[in-house]
Each structure stands twice: as structure tokens, then as C-alpha cells.
């Protein structure tokens, strides 16, 4: 293979946008440490692996890339066709390949629990393989701008917000997301331009699951009236992330501000100070009762806003 191939129009735009994001986030390129790219076999992760391995010489040396396929046991093809497809891509690019089979989830669980269980299992693998002082420095995932929009809307509908963020971070522990400012449309355009194979996961649009319902029904409906809704939601998340002050934590500033929107009347200085103090000391599962029947429940990654009169709003 030509070691310095030139990308087409879609690929050129994509790699420039990725490099620009790394620069904006203060990550020097090319990356000099081994990385894993999490590749499910879907179009997003296959595109990220293909772009980095074929056109990413200014981003990372292909010799430092290993494609990681995790078999969740969701479907039969996740144990057969998909790992073979990811391994074939790795061979064609001259990069490493690693496959791990996870314990299958209990399909009888509620949909949100099922997806959360799968996410935690992935993170356990990432924690074991990647991070400072480990074999791989980062795990790259293919989260993109549309995922950010879905996450913002999803958290809003659940009444949940994460500490320090409303969307998805570019760098979160060892997870790094090069496509975070790339749209799904750009990814599809690149896949068509290059013609590499990928797999469609029907569960992504399963409306019986909360995220699938948001993706398949809620956002398309909103787009009929607000065509730029995905870009707007992603832009809102970007604004919140960029406007955070490292000297002021989410509990000290963001939490009281958000609660003013759900409690009838503003919080005074004493109330804001007391709320911040309670938030700092709260343990996971603890509930803080507030005026107007509003309750705050501490989660591992943030807070859930509930109304005691109406039960769980999620």
C-alpha cells in the first residue's frame, strides 16, 4: 500500500477537522504512544479506524494503532462477522488487532440498565488496558457530534446532568474522541467515498430502548421544525464545556444555577452556599430535599432531579 495516500474530498475534510480538534484541545500531534481504537464494526468506528490508519500520518503512526473489538454478546453476528470484518480492516491497514469477549447482558433487564451494563463492561476493559503507564495510552472512540446532541437531549429528558459537562468530553480519563466535532453525515460521506465495509446494528434504532427512541423518533420529529437541532444541541454542550472555570466546581456554580430553573424563585446567597456544601458531601444514592417537592438524587456521574409528588421523572 502506498504509505502516503491522498484522501478524497470527504476524507481530506475529515482528517483536517480531527487535527484541528486535537490542536484546539492542546494534544500534540502526531501521537507518540500506542493507542487502542474501539471498533464495533459499525460505520462510525470503522471510519475512525480507516481514517487514522490510512490517512492519519500527521495524527499517529499506524504502527502505534491497535483496533479493539469487544463482543458484548448482543447478537450472533457480534461473535462472527463483525470481529472478522474488524480484523480484516486491521490487516488491510497494517495495524494491530485485539478481540475480547464480554459476559453477555441479561436481555430481560430494562433497556436503560442493559445499555448501562454494557457501557460499564467496556469501561472495565478500557481501565485494564489503557491509561498512564499502561500498554496503551488512550482508547479512541468514535463518538461524534450527533451523539453529543442525543446525549444532551437524553439527559434533559431524564432530568439528569453530569458534573462539569452536559454532553460528551473530548478527553475523559483514558478515552479520547477524535470525531467529536464531526457530523454523522460527514462520516457516511467518507464511508461512501472509500467503500470500506461496515455493519448495521439494528438495536441502535430500537425504539423500545430510551436512547433508541430519542435517536429514531424524537430527534427526527424535532428536525421537521428545527432542521439544525443536532448542531444547536451540540453547540450548547460545546459552549458549556468551554465556559467552565477550573476554579469553580459544578457543585459550587452549575448546580445552584440549574436548580433555579426548576424551583419557583431564585436562590439567595445563603441558600446557594448551603446547597453547594450539601452537594460536596453527598454520597451516591443520597437524596437532598428542596422546596416545591424537588429532590436531588446523587448518581455516580452527577445528579438526578426528581419531583417527590410525581415519582421518578426518568
% of residues, the chain, pLDDT over 90: 39
How buried is 163 (Cβ within 10 angstroms: 0-12 exposed, 13-18 middle, 19+ buried)? middle
Domain range enclosing 295: 248-309
Instruction: Examine the domain organization and report whether 142 and 255 are in the same domain.
Output: no
pLDDT score recorded for residue 249? 39
Domain contains 13: yes
Q: What is the pTM of this model?
A: 0.71
Structural domain contains residue 37? yes
Do 20 and 79 belong together in one domain? Answer: yes
Taking the alpha carbons at both ends of the chain, their separation in whole angstroms is 51
Contacts of 71 (CB under 8 A, 6+ apart): 78, 79, 82, 83, 99, 100, 101, 102
Q: Averaged over 35-50, what is the pLDDT?
A: 96
DSSP secondary structure letter of residue 76: G
Q: What is the pLDDT of residue 268?
A: 57
DSSP string across 101-151: EPPPP-TTS-HHHHHHHHHHHHHHHHHHHBSTTSSBSEEE----HHHHHHH
Higher pLDDT, 108 or 192: 192
Backbone angles phi, psi at 65, to 5 degrees: -100, 135
Q: How confident is the model at residue 182 (pLDDT cuts 50, 70, 90)?
A: very high
Q: What share of the chain is helix, strand, coil (3-state, %, to 5)?
A: 50, 15, 35
User: Is residue 140 domain-shared with residue 275, that is, in the same domain?
Assistant: no
Of 261 and 295, the structure prediction assigns the larger pLDDT to: 295
* 116 and 171 together in one domain: yes
Distance CA 262, CA 11 (A): 45
What is the total count of domains within the chain? 2
Looking up residue 64, the CATH number of its domain turns out to be 3.40.50.620
The answer to whether 27 and 55 have CB atoms below 8 angstroms apart is no
Q: How much is the pLDDT for 135? A: 93
User: Is residue 114 scored above 80 in pLDDT?
Assistant: no
Higher pLDDT, 313 or 11: 11
Do 188 and 289 share a domain, yes or no?
A: no
Q: What is the pLDDT of residue 161?
A: 56
Distance between CA atoms of 77 and 80, rounded to whole angstroms? Answer: 5
200 and 254: one domain?
A: no
Q: How far apart are CA 154 and CA 181, in angstroms?
A: 19
User: Would you put residue 5 in left (φ > 0), alpha (ψ -120 to 50) or beta?
Assistant: beta
Check whether 244 has a pLDDT greater than 80.
Answer: no
Judge whether 240 lies within some domain.
Answer: no
185 and 304 both lie in a single domain: no
Q: What is the pLDDT of residues 62-83, one digit of tens each?
A: 999 999 999 876 655 556 788 9
Which of 28-32, 110-114, 150-154, 289-293 has the largest mean confidence? 28-32
Amino acid at each position: 500500500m502506498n504509505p502516503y495516500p491522498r484522501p478524497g474530498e470527504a476524507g481530506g475534510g475529515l482528517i483536517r477537522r480531527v487535527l484541528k480538534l486535537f490542536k484546539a484541545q492542546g494534544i500534540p500531534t502526531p501521537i507518540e504512544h500506542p493507542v487502542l481504537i474501539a471498533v464495533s464494526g459499525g460505520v462510525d468506528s470503522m471510519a475512525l479506524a480507516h481514517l487514522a490508519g490510512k490517512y492519519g500520518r500527521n495524527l499517529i503512526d499506524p504502527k502505534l494503532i491497535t483496533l479493539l473489538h469487544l463482543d458484548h454478546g448482543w447478537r450472533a453476528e457480534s461473535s462472527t462477522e463483525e470481529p472478522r470484518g474488524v480484523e480484516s480492516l486491521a490487516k488491510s491497514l497494517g495495524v494491530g488487532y485485539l478481540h475480547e469477549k464480554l459476559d453477555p447482558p441479561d436481555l430481560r433487564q430494562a433497556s436503560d440498565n442493559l445499555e448501562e451494563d454494557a457501557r460499564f463492561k467496556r469501561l472495565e476493559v478500557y481501565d485494564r488496558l489503557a491509561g498512564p503507564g499502561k500498554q496503551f495510552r488512550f482508547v479512541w472512540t468514535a463518538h461524534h457530534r450527533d451523539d453529543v446532541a442525543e446525549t444532551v437531549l437524553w439527559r434533559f429528558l431524564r432530568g439528569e446532568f453530569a458534573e462539569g459537562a452536559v454532553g460528551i468530553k473530548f478527553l475523559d480519563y483514558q478515552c479520547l474522541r477524535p470525531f467529536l466535532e464531526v457530523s454523522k453525515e460527514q462520516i457516511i460521506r467518507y464511508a461512501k467515498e472509500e467503500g470500506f465495509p461496515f455493519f448495521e446494528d439494528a438495536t441502535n434504532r430500537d425504539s423500545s430502548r430510551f436512547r433508541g427512541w430519542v435517536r429514531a423518533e424524537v430527534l427526527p420529529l424535532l428536525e421537521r421544525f428545527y432542521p439544525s437541532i443536532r448542531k444547536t444541541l451540540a453547540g450548547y454542550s460545546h459552549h458549556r464545556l468551554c465556559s467552565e472555570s477550573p476554579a469553580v466546581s459544578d457543585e459550587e456554580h452549575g448546580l445552584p444555577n440549574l436548580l433555579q430553573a426548576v424551583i419557583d424563585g431564585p436562590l439567595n446567597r445563603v441558600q446557594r452556599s448551603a446547597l453547594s456544601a450539601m452537594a460536596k458531601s453527598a454520597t451516591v444514592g443520597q437524596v437532598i430535599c428542596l422546596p416545591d417537592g424537588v429532590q436531588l438524587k446523587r448518581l455516580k456521574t452527577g445528579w438526578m432531579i426528581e419531583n417527590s409528588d410525581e415519582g421518578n421523572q426518568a
